Amino acid sequence: MPVIYLKSGGTVTCTAYTIKDGVVKAMDCKLDGTPIPEEKARPAEFTASLANVLYILPGKL
């Protein structure tokens, strides 16, 4: 599963992601290490600007 590391802290683990027009969109995600409440830490879709992404580890190399 791909893991997106955020500059603002925390990670997003998702089943799939796309990068388009300077935005990363992740599907079926789980947010870890963020100040978001636990009940909202599993959104169906998450978007973040590439300016807020430290790096992305793909699921398979």
- Domain with 13 in it: 3-56
More confident position, 3 or 9: 3
Residue for token pair 């636990």: 38
Q: Is residue 10 assigned to a domain? A: yes
Cβ-contact 54, 7 below 8 angstroms: yes
Q: Which amino acid is at 11?
A: T
What is this structure's pTM? 0.86
Q: Is residue 61 assigned to a domain? A: no
Residues 7-47 pLDDT 10s = 988 999 999 999 999 999 999 999 998 888 888 889 899 99
Q: Using the predicted structure, report yes or no on whether residue 60 has a pLDDT greater than 90.
A: no
Q: How many domains does the chain have?
A: 1
Q: Is residue 8 assigned to a domain? A: yes
